[in-house]
Amino acid sequence: MQEARPMTTAKDIMHPGARWIPAHETVDRAAQLMRELDVGALPIADADERLCGILTDRDIVVGCVAMGHDPSKVTAGEMAKGTPRWIDAGADVSAVLREMQGHQIRRLPVIENKRLVGMISEADLAQHLSEDQIAGWAERVYAESGTERLKNAGSMT
């Protein structure tokens, strides 16, 4: 009789100690915090500490600086777009993969008791999942988003 292996959860594979950036903080402060924490993304919290988006280093460069906006005058909340995605700390790793693949996202905040407790990134997946799981995840997240980029690039001519 085989002993049942415990389920791997989001909390098991996440990077603990993630920090919010308040929506009212400026983008330049977000960039400074990213540098201090050595991260490429920060969850954005509203006044009630609810997730209202994620700000990435790429968002700052492409969506603010390259557009000619002053990062000391644009807030993190102004940069938040779309519906924020997150996962419960107790969710099975298969649910993590479905959420990330289904929404083509590379970083996923982990919430426990309505509080941010960590983030799951590509690096976390690579450390904790099998090569087959990583390959399937990458194929769905990158191949599909690459196809969309190609379609969009073709329409710019």
Are 12 and 93 in contact by the 8 Å Cβ rule? The answer is: yes
Phi and psi torsions of 91, nearest 5°:
-70, 145
Whether the predicted pLDDT of 110 surpasses 90:
yes
Dump pLDDT digits (tens) for 41-94: 999 998 888 888 999 999 999 999 999 999 999 999 999 877 889 999 999 998
Q: 40: closest CA among 25, 18, 24, 8?
A: 18
Indicate the angle between helix axes 93-102 and 131-138, nearest 10 degrees. Answer: 20
Whether the predicted pLDDT of 133 surpasses 90:
no
In CATH terms, 10-154 corresponds, of 3.10.580.10, 3.30.470.20, 3.40.50.150, 3.40.640.10, to 3.10.580.10
- SS3 at position 30: helix
